[in-house]
Amino acid sequence: MGLLSIIRKIKRKEKEMRILMVGLDNSGKTTIVLKINGEDTSVISPTLGFNIKTMTYNKYTLNIWDVGGQRTIRSYWRNYFEQTDGLVWVVDSSDLRRLDDCKFELHNILKEERLSGASLLILANKQDIQGALSPDEMAKVLNLDAMDKTRHWKIMGCSAYTGDGLLEGFDWLVQDIASRIYVLD
């Protein structure tokens, strides 16, 4: 029995997934996590450090790591890379000025070997704001087609404010992870 199949077996028993949420500050990561968990989103301070949320989603247990995106603490993202099954990159689609910054940080994180096997969901957030870039435009700006061909990824427009698109995005992510690490049953 190879190591990989042992790991698969352990994971299958627990049905657990580890999901890492990152992105620039002000993109709405914490709001998204609270929204899909059905919590109040009206008072959220910029994240100093990180939050962990454990929630049941379909028949899986998701451990969501929501890590602060302020520039000062971006260098700590690497501490959360280990054993990540799914990566959620959140973009503020209305913040056109910092898109280069966003693209740079995204491609930087995708070079990380420890994340090479993780499924990637890009949430183009704040679609409810007038003037926001559409998911297609965002995919062009972030140059997603230039990504490694082996990467499983999807871009999804959403609004953490109205909740639109969030479940659809997480459905894809969870299904994609499940098809990789669990034997389909």
Partner 1 sequence: MEEEQEDLPNPNQASEKTLDAASRKHAAMLERLANRKQSLSSRKPSSDSNPDSFESTHSFLSRFSQSKLSIDSDLSRSKSKSDLDRVSISISDLEKLVAENSYFLPSYEVRTCLKTISDLKQTVENVTSEIVPKKKFGFKNKKASTGFVPEIEPEIQAFEQEKPSYPIRELPGFREKENEVLVKEFEGSEIGEFTISDLNFCEVRLKGCLRALFVHRLRNCKVYVGSVFGSVLIEEVEGCVFVLASHQIRIHHARESDFYLRARSRPIIEDCNGVRFAPYCLSYDGIERDLREANLEEETGNWANVDDFRWLRAVQSPNWSVLPENERVGGVTISNLDE
**Interface ranges with partner 1 (CB under 8 A):** 25-26, 42-46, 48, 70-73, 75, 94-97, 99-100, 103-104, 107-108, 111, 126, 128-133, 137-138, 140-141, 143, 146, 161
State yes or no: is 70 an active-site residue: yes
Contact 137, 96 (CB under 8 A): no
For residue 65, the cross-strand partners are 20, 52
Closest CA to 165 of 137, 129, 127, 119: 127
Q: How far is the CB of 44 from partner 1 (least distance, A)?
A: 6
Q: How far is the CB of 42 from partner 1 (least distance, A)?
A: 6
**Gap between the Cα atoms of 143 and 128, Å rounded:** 23
Q: What are phi and psi of 153, to 5 degrees?
A: -145, 160
Cβ proximity to partner 1, 62 vs 158, nearer residue: 158
Q: How far is the CB of 139 from partner 1 (least distance, A)?
A: 10
Cβ proximity to partner 1, 3 vs 43, nearer residue: 43
